[in-house]
Structure 1
Amino acid sequence: MTARRAAAFRKTREAHVTEVAEDYVELIADLAAEFGEARLTDIAVNMAVTQATASKIVARLKREGLVDNRPYRSIFLTDAGRAMADEARRRHQIVFEFLRALGIDEATAEADSEGMEHHVSDQTLDALVALTGRLAGQG
């Protein structure tokens, strides 16, 4: 039991490490799609953080090879950042659709899926997809 518990806690800590990066690259992708660019001020407003906090996180994303930017210019995703954003969006959509299939209202499903997407395994996501399909078939 102890080894399983330790593994579960380790998985949760690892999810927390990537959670912020995934949220930011997903937002940067959304801003770029909507406005053609992602500006630091828009990132800070949408993430409800100060510009200083957003700047620190963007600097971390740049070190990790997920974004590229130049001083006083917009922020763009690298190929790795786009791949991370696409995967985060896919995971989010699976959880959101599952919650909606359960009858959860749209606003609650959106809010809940925002955190859950980072903490479920691929095996659980596959099960959610299958169960969502069955629930939708009962409609």
Structure 2
Amino acid sequence: MDSNTDFYTFRGYQLNDNAQLTSSMEDYLEMICRMLKKQDVVRIHELAARLHVKPSSASKMVNNLRLLGLVNFEKYGYIKLTVKGLAVGEYLIYRHDVLNKLLCLINNSDDETEQVEKIEHFLNEKTIRNIEKHLNEYLIMQKK
């Protein structure tokens, strides 16, 4: 082991990461994006129901996403994604799907949503893209 490697607590790594989106914000944005694939707009009460939270909590989080320029939202109105929000949301769905495929393969199952939700926030984009690459290579080799 390299003695020059810096180690931190989990919280220390979180503090070193300059990402503005928290894990909870990612969950909300991902769900908004999923819902907008099936409907034109999302309302706070619908979002809250899908995430099993109170509407007041959903409203507060959506306002935080609005402040980051990821959604457009007016009190008692509709939630819509901005261009930036759509791009981030699409990536969050992609990340979820890649991890779900990997864990389903490993566990010989059809759905690993709970595990994916617990781990997806801790892997960076490079790791996710490499998981997809290796997963696809493995699947191609299995077909031969």
TM-score of Structure 1 vs Structure 2, range by shorter chain = 0.7 to 0.9
* 1:18 corresponds to which of 19, 22, 30: 22
SS in 2 for 1:49: coil
TM-score normalised according to structure 2 size? 0.80
> What is aligned with 1:37?
41
Sort the Cα spacing of 1:11 and 1:39 in 2 relative to 1 into closer, same or farther, 3 A. same
Q: In 2, Cα distance between the equivalents of 1:30 and 1:57?
A: 17
Answer with 54-63 or 125-134: which moved more.
125-134
Partner residue, 1:48: 52
Q: Distance in 1 between matches of 2:67 and 2:45?
A: 20
- In structure 1, what is the Cα distance between the partners aligned to 2:79 and 2:28? 11
Deviates more, 1:129-138 or 1:67-76: 129-138
Q: How does 1:16-95 map to 2 (within 5 A)?
A: 17-95=21-99
Counterpart of 1:6? Answer: 8
* Separation in 2, partners of 1:71, 1:28: 16
More helix by share: 1
TM-score by length of 1: 0.83
1:38 deviates by 0.6
What is the CA distance between 1:34 and its match in structure 2?
Answer: 1.1
Q: Unaligned regions of 5+ residues in structure 1, if any?
A: none
How far 1:43 moved relative to its partner? 0.7
Larger RCO (CA under 8 A, 6+ residues apart): 1
Give how far 1:18 is off.
2.4
- Greater CA drift, 127-136 or 21-30: 127-136
Q: Is the 8 A contact 1:21 1:61 kept in 2?
A: yes
Cα offset for 1:6? 1.8
3-state DSSP class of the match of 1:118?
helix
Structure 2 counterpart of 1:119, which letter? F
Q: Quote how far apart the aligned CAs of 1:121 are.
A: 2.4
CA distance in 2, matches of 1:16, 1:45: 25
Aligned equivalents of 2:84, 2:78: Cα separation in 1? 18
